[in-house]
Amino acid sequence: MVYYLYRVKRLFRNKILFFWSIIFPLVLATFFKLAFSAITEKDWGFDTIAVAVTTEEGSTPDEMLISFLEEMKNEDQAFFEVTETDPETADRMLSEKEVTAVIVVGEETVIKLRENGLDSTVVKTVIDGYLQSKDIFMEAAVTGKLAQVTEAFSDEMETLAVREFKGASKDPLIQYFQALIAMASLYGAMYGLMNSNELNTKANTADVAARRLASPMKKIPTVLADVAAAFTIQYVQFLIIIAYYLLVLKVDFGTINGWLFLGGAAYSLFGVLIGYCIGSVVRQKENIQNALMMGTVMFSSFLAGLMVGGLRITIELSAPIVNRINPATLIADSMQALCIMRDMDRFATCMIGILIWCVALIVVSVLAMGFRQMAEGRRVKNV
């Protein structure tokens, strides 16, 4: 126990590890929040579109068009804010971005747009619909069936029903925050690597390793205490990040329940074991081990969508096996399944994937340590 506490103290005091495993993810999360908070609202939200309606010289204003545009509503919010004005003012308003489009009523209805985009598409779709309706009414007038067509048109029956999205959050940018937690969890590898190197007499920390190996404590309890200490720090950091998301950044993380905290324990252990495995298998200089570890974590996080949102689903569609084995994707996917989709089967699948990884990492680390010990023993005998 005392050994465990000293180990916690030793790991916690390393400022560089502290920065990368906790400060960096928190700062990155803050930047994500600052940068992305308005994107979903501005990109996916529904906003009333400002349009100007003007009439060509010599033509009569189309009052029906104006009332058609003004009456269009999405729930209680109007689709359009209509300004009726002269052509010059309308053009000025368009160039000064006061309106998205100018609708010129004349012999032929013309839509002037500043640029392409969804708002422009909405204006175009609605005006096309209006003109097409007008044609149908004109045809009805010619065939003398105006009354029937008007009745059919004024039928308020809604054919299309809305099926609600089953997810607990509708913010797709959550996937960046999930990938960030995955990255932060895998950064636990730094603690694992430090532990492993401080038992390796060939690493840069050889003097510390020599001192620890010379102690009368057996190796297995030493390793277990090391793992427990690294796991404790990593898990506390996971809790801090979750708390920061929910309480400070107010990220809509979906449904939070006990499974997430249990999952967090598995993520933390997973990260620490990756570090152990690299430290045990790669018997090179510490900076090479660090580079390999950082490269692994960053590449894995990249595949989980940390840098490019939506990459995870793109991989799922083209090479799903990558998502089944990539550590960061397993973590991010399990959080998505649990908190957003509330899909316990998928959560369980991801957790099984993580546990298989953990067992494999333990086996490889133990074998590598055993081989190293055998080699060192042989060397001592030869001496």
Per CB under 8 A, which of residues 88..107 are in contact with other proteins? Answer: 91, 94-95
Min CB(119)–other proteins separation in Å = 8
User: Radius of gyration of the chain from Cα atoms?
Assistant: 31
SS3 100: coil
Query: Of residues 56, 59, 89, 114, which one binds other proteins by CB under 8 A?
Result: 114
Q: Binding of other proteins at residue 13 (CB under 8 A)?
A: no
Residues 118, 121, 127, 132, CA torsion sign: negative
Over the window 313 to 352, marking each residue x when it contacts other proteins by CB under 8 A and - when it does not, the resulting string is: xx-xx------------------x---xx-----------
Query: Of residues 2, 60, 159, 379, which one binds other proteins by CB under 8 A?
Result: 159
Site for other proteins in 279-318 (CB under 8 A): 309-310, 312-314, 316-317
Site for other proteins in 363-382 (CB under 8 A): none
Q: 116 to each of 53, 124, 127, 143, 186, how far by Cα in Å?
A: 19, 10, 16, 39, 42
Min CB(252)–other proteins separation in Å = 12
Q: Binding of other proteins at residue 61 (CB under 8 A)?
A: no
Site for other proteins in 211-270 (CB under 8 A): none
Tokens of 125: 């779709």
Contact 178, 171 (CB under 8 A): no
Measured from the CB atom, is 136 or 206 closer to other proteins? 136
Q: Binding of other proteins at residue 126 (CB under 8 A)?
A: yes
For 294, list phi and psi in degrees, rounded to 5.
-65, -45
Min CB(304)–other proteins separation in Å = 12
Cα distance between residue 164 and residue 241, in whole Å? 31
Min CB(224)–other proteins separation in Å = 29
Contact 190, 275 (CB under 8 A): yes
Cα distance between residue 99 and residue 50, in whole Å? 5
Cα distance between residue 31 and residue 96, in whole Å? 32
